[in-house]
Each structure stands twice: as C-alpha cells, then as structure tokens.
Amino acid sequence: MHYGFLTIYWRDMIRFLRFKTLLISSLIQPALWMAFFGIAMSANFDRLGASIPPIPGVPEVQYLTYMAAGVIAMTVLFTSLFGGIVLLFDKNWGLMREIMASPLPRDQIIFGIALSGMTKSFIQVIIVMVFGLLIGVTFFAGYSIGHTVVALLGIMLFVGMFSIGFLFFSAAISISMETPEGLQGIITLLTMPIFFASNALYPVEAFPPVLQAISTVNPLSQLVNGVRYFAIGDNFTTMGIHYVYTTAEILLSFTILVIFAVAMFGVAWWRFKKAVVT
Amino acid sequence: MSTSIIEVKDLEHQYGDFKAVDGISFTVGKGEIFSFLGPNGAGKSTAINVLITLLKLQKGEASIAGYDVRTEPEKVRESIGIVFQEVTLDRDMTAWEILEFHGRLYGMTRSDRKERIQEILELVKLEEKKDTFVKKLSGGMKRRLEIGRGLMTRPIVLFLDEPTIGLDPQTRMRMWDYIKAVNEEGTTIFLTTHYMDEADNLSDRISIIDHGKIIASGKPWELKNALGQDLIYLETSDNSKARAIISDRVNVSGVTDKGKGILITTNDDGTKVLPLVIEEIRNSGISVITVNLKKPSMDDVFVHFTGRELRDDKPEKISTAFGRR
C-alpha cells in the first residue's frame, strides 16, 4: 500500500490549523442556522405539532433537535464541496506542478485531499453538535455512555462516507476548472437543490412525487437519516409525524453513500488522469 | 556517447496547430551545464515540460538517465530535480516545511529527510530561515530555497527553467555561484535562459533555440568564434564606400550594415586591424566619425544566428549593470 496520500494530508492539515479563519467561518453558518432558523421555526412547528395527540410510548422531539441533524449534514456538505478548492489554488499558483512532476501517483492526491476534508468535517460536526446541545438540542436523550459512544461512531461513519463522496467530486471539478469563480458557480448551483430537495429541514412526505423521488436518493438525505437514527433514535415523533427507522433502511442509506463515493472517485480518477498542469 | 545523461532526438510538440517545439535533437553529457538560450516563446519551456514529464511526449524520442521519457515517466521523475520558472512555493509554509513536504512527496525516509534538509539548508545558506514563512523571504532566498528543494532528492539532473528571472544583479551573480557549486558536486544541469550573459557565464555548452528549432549549438567560445575574432564598429561619412574599400582586406572576414554605421568581423587581433582599417578609409577621403572595438558577446552570437535581436526584454542593460567581463 502506498502512503503518499499522507503527505498531501499533512500539508492540507497544516494549512487548516494555521488558518483558523477557515474553521471559524465554516462554523458560523451552521450556528446561525440553528440559532435563528432553528429556534424560530421550532416555535412554529412545535405549536402545530401540539394539536396532534402524542402516540403513547413514542418519544416526541422538538423541531430544533430534528433540524439539528440537517444542519450537521449541511455543514459537512459545504465543507466537502469546497474541500477540493485547495487543488485549484495550487494549480493556479503553480504549486501543483511540484506535485504533478513528482513520482507520487495521482490517486494519492485524491485520497489525501479526501482524508483531510473528512478530518475537517469530523472536527466541525463535533463543534456543531456541542453548540446544538448548548442551545437545547436533545441528542442522545436517555442514552447510556456506551450507547452514546456507539451513536457517535455511527454518526461519524455516515459523515465520513458522505464527505469523501463530495470531496472526490470537489477534487474532480477543482482539477478541471480554470478559475475559483467557476468552481464557486458550480458549487452554488448544486448546494441549493441538494440542500432543499432533502429531508434536512422538513419532512419530505408532503413533497410532490418528483421532488420526493429526488430527495429519497439524495445523498444528503441518507446522511440526515443516519444522523437522526443514531442521535435521536429509531422511533420518534416530531411536528406530529411519526418516524420509524428500520436497520434495513439505515443500511440502505449507507449503501447509497458508498455507491455515491465510489462513483465520485471514478469521476475524480478520470479527471486527474486527463489533467495537464504546466 | 556512453556518458550522456539526456538524449533527445527529433522532439516535436504541438499545441493545436502551433508547433512550439519543431524537431530538436541534442545530448547532454554527465556533469555538464547545458543551456537552452532563446527569447521568450522560443519553445524552451515546452521542451523542458516534455522532458520533466508534465507534458506528454508527442513525437520524437527522449531519455533521461537512461529512462525513456515516454514509457518510464515514473523513473524519470525519480531521477530529476526541477526549479520552475515561476515561484512554486506555498507562501504560508516555512522553509523547513517546504523541504519536508518535497522529501515526503518523493518517498524519502524520515531519517534521510532530516539529514538532507540540514545539508540543503546549509548549501543554500538558509539555516537561520528554517522556520520562516516563505512570504517573509526575499526573492533571492525563495529562489535559493527552490534550488535547494530541487536538490533534495539528490537528482542526477537538475532542470532550471529561467533560474534568475526577476532577480537583481547581485542576487543573480550569487545564484550563478550556487548553480556552479551544485554542478561541481556532480549534478548535471539543464537550464533555459533568455539572458545571454547567463548562458555565457554558466554553460559548458549552449543550444540557441528559436521558433522551436535549434539554430546553433556548441561551447560558448565556439559560438563566439563563429563570428571571427574581434568586432569593429565604424560610423563614417560614406558607409557604403567605406564598406567596399575594406571588405577585400585579408584580415576582415565580413562587413555588415548596423545602425548608422558598419560592423566589421575580423579574423585577427582587432587592436592591430583597427588602425589599418581607419588609415585605409581616410586615405580614400572618407572621414571616420565613431569607432568601437569589442569582443563578440553572446548577444552578437544570437543576432548572428537568428538575424535579429531578442524579441522582448533588454538583457544588455542587465549585463552592463555589473560588467560582463
């Protein structure tokens, strides 16, 4: 096995830790979503849900807790989509030539970038979760220590698989694009449908069929499913809607993320093979 | 030639319809400093990019250190060091991190990296700047760091693409000393430059490249000798008549018009030819206005072979700034 990806990882992490602004700015957005949108909508949705009689024995969670999973997913989505941009900067500033002219196999560049992006996602997820718990998100309610650890590992597994898929994708566009503006354009174009055609902020049951179909296969929905399953549980109600997750459903969600990651690696691999950097 | 390190035969490279490199062939021997001299856009960088495997070899053959550039690019990469034309250093990393990253890229072991980084920092005199961020280094220090980085992996050949572009005269001179020192340690050096003085000062052999073709090759003095011995520049009251009178002289090898006067190439000691030439012209009733005697420079060589001055930049100014000879 080649360990060259660790070189790329090492450099990217140095930069990440050196520029705390990147970390901080990437955390402001999820914090704002939760603090404003979350708390405001929570007041509304919870009032609507209050008119529906609770199901005996099924825990009821607040909207804030429900959408916190979506905000975590969104944070990972943004970080991962932009995770490859360092490649574009390296390319434009000529730094990529050093790497491209070295004996390092190109797939190692892709793996290195994916691994560092994944690490960044983990750090952010932890911070966003802690912030959420502070403002009243009831994740891991009634869990034992052991159960909480398992739940955290489960969440990280989903976060990791989701993020490398989008990091591969981000690396693929970054190496193909000429300008950061172009990359930004593509990412902005993609984030809206990915974010809103998902179950991140609201239930998809009332969506029109086409939108519902999209959100069902949307990788972001898979991540949200995973986070809710591990952080809230497999049986709960929110806004008067009863959620039940079976193990099979969660495995299917994870499988979709794996398929997505493999496909995106294929795209990245193809783009890197074609890339000429001089 | 068994000791040649770089062998290139009929190399061509095209961007769309434009032939940037148009059938060049050359060899570089072990331990040599070999230069590609030519104006910007002559095809030097394209040729170098093909040799260092950043561009695909389209047509022709090339081998470096015995490895085929087309079929064994990985082996070629392991055998070479590169200093690119533009600065390719991450501004936000320290000098030490730059070298550490490079050593890791090339799969050097931890202990080897540690030892080598120390050696390199000493060689390029940056020991004290080890933990300084690149953005805080001067232009010359950055260039030295890049040269050091190119040598990290103990390459057989070091490629230098315009190594002193944008540096001030003193720094350039010092850079030449580094390059010579590196060469004396046994590294073969391939450099491209559009500075005549640089090629002249550093190279064992030079190939003059223009429009993607090699127009002349040889040792610096051989190229200069192609122009004969000394050059005499004269401005007279009747240039064409003066030209006719002296072109038959035995120690004059050629006369061409240049600017407001004529340029005489000699095949003897110019200090002896000059008085005779002036006397002869005067005797014909033509007055001499300006006289200049000089040794051929690489500038003259370039003009001689390409028929024109460099397309852009004015290397002459830089040359005179600190005296070429």
Answer whether residue B112 is part of any domain. yes
| 8 A C-beta contact, residue A116 and residue A8 | yes
pLDDT in tens, B21-73: 999 999 999 999 999 998 888 889 899 999 999 999 999 999 999 999 999 99
Closest C-alpha among A62, A49, A83, A110 to residue A268: A110
On whether both B241 and B120 belong to a single domain, the answer is no
* Residues within 8 A of B (CB atoms), A 5-24 only: 6-7, 10-11, 14-15, 18-19
On whether both B37 and B126 belong to a single domain, the answer is yes
Is B97 within 8 Å of A14 when comparing Cβ atoms?
Answer: yes
Closest C-alpha among B58, B76, B80, B78 to residue B67: B76
Answer whether residue B323 is part of any domain. no
**Residue B15 domain boundaries:** 4-221
Is A100 within 8 Å of B54 when comparing Cβ atoms?
Answer: yes
Is A97 within 8 Å of B88 when comparing Cβ atoms?
Answer: yes
On whether both B155 and B183 belong to a single domain, the answer is yes
> Is the per-residue pLDDT at B316 higher than 70?
no
CATH number at residue B257: 3.30.70.920
Average pLDDT, stretch B95-105?
96
CA distance linking residue A67 with residue A149, whole number of Å: 21
> Is the per-residue pLDDT at B1 higher than 60?
no
Of B221, B238, B273, the one marking the end of a domain is B221
* Residues within 8 A of B (CB atoms), A 80-139 only: 93-95, 97-104
Write out the H or E segment, with its range, that includes residue B160: strand B157-161
Polymer length in residues for chain B = 325
Is A18 within 8 Å of B92 when comparing Cβ atoms?
Answer: yes
3-class SS string, chain A: CCCCHHHHHHHHHHHHHHCHHHHHHHHHHHHHHHHHHHHHHHHHHHHHHHCCCCCCCCCECCHHHHHHHHHHHHHHHHHHHHCCHHHHHHHHCCHHHHHHCCCCCHHHHHHHHHHHHHHHHHHHHHHHHHHHHHCCCCCCCCCCHHHHHHHHHHHHHHHHHHHHHHHHHHHHHHHHCCCHHHHHHHHHHHHHHHHHCCCCCCCCCCCCHHHHHHHHHCHHHHHHHHHHHHHCCCEEEECCEEEECCHHHHHHHHHHHHHHHHHHHHHHHHHHHHCCCC
On whether both B142 and B41 belong to a single domain, the answer is yes
Which chain B residue has its CA at the smallest distance from A108's CA? B105
| Distance from the A17 Cα atom to the nearest Cα atom in chain B, whole angstroms | 12
- More confident: B264 or B322: B264
pLDDT in tens, B260-299: 888 888 877 778 888 888 888 888 888 888 888 887 777 7
Of B221, B250, B278, the one marking the end of a domain is B221
On whether both B68 and B209 belong to a single domain, the answer is yes
> Is any Cβ of chain B less than 8 angstroms from the Cβ of A173?
no
**Token digits of residue A32:** 């704002």
Q: What is the pLDDT at residue A217?
A: 92
Q: What is the pLDDT at residue A92?
A: 87
Which chain A residue has its CA at the smallest distance from B97's CA? A11
Q: What is the pLDDT at residue B104?
A: 95
Considering CB atoms only, which of A4, A15, A94 is closest to B92? A15
Closest C-alpha among B299, B216, B300 to residue B36: B216
pTM reported for the whole predicted model: 0.82
On whether both B58 and B180 belong to a single domain, the answer is yes
Q: What is the pLDDT at residue B320?
A: 35
Contact list in B for residue A11 (CB cut-off 8 A) is 90, 93, 97, 101
Average pLDDT, stretch B162-167?
84
- The count of domains in chain B is 2
**Token digits of residue B88:** 């390719």
DSSP state of B279: H
Write out the H or E segment, with its range, that includes residue B232: strand B231-236
Residue B124 CB neighbour total at 10 angstroms: 24
| 8 A C-beta contact, residue B206 and residue B223 | yes
On whether both B54 and B140 belong to a single domain, the answer is yes
Residue B225 amino acid letter: N
> Degrees (nearest 5) of the Cα angle B279, B285, B289?
70
Answer whether residue B89 is part of any domain. yes
pLDDT in tens, B243-265: 888 887 777 878 888 878 888 88
Residue B21, φ and ψ in degrees, nearest 5: -125, 125
**Token digits of residue A251:** 């495995």
Is B101 within 8 Å of A7 when comparing Cβ atoms?
Answer: yes
Of B221, B244, B277, the one marking the end of a domain is B221
On whether both B236 and B144 belong to a single domain, the answer is no
Considering CB atoms only, which of B74, B82, B90 is closest to A95? B90
Is A18 within 8 Å of B88 when comparing Cβ atoms?
Answer: no
On whether both B187 and B234 belong to a single domain, the answer is no
Mean pLDDT rounded to a whole number for chain B: 86
**Residue A63 domain boundaries:** 5-274
Successive 10-residue mean pLDDT values, chain A, 278 residues: 90 88 80 83 78 80 90 92 90 89 92 94 92 90 92 96 96 90 88 90 86 92 96 87 90 97 96 87
CATH number at residue B76: 3.40.50.300
| Distance from the A13 Cα atom to the nearest Cα atom in chain B, whole angstroms | 12
Which chain B residue has its CA at the smallest distance from A86's CA? B90
> Is any Cβ of chain B less than 8 angstroms from the Cβ of A1?
no
CA distance linking residue B18 with residue B305, whole number of Å: 23
| Distance from the B210 Cα atom to the nearest Cα atom in chain A, whole angstroms | 21
Q: What is the pLDDT at residue A29?
A: 80
CA distance linking residue B228 with residue B158, whole number of Å: 33
On whether both B286 and B202 belong to a single domain, the answer is no
On whether both B195 and B252 belong to a single domain, the answer is no
Answer whether residue B77 is part of any domain. yes
On whether both B247 and B124 belong to a single domain, the answer is no
- The count of domains in chain A is 1
Is B55 within 8 Å of A7 when comparing Cβ atoms?
Answer: no
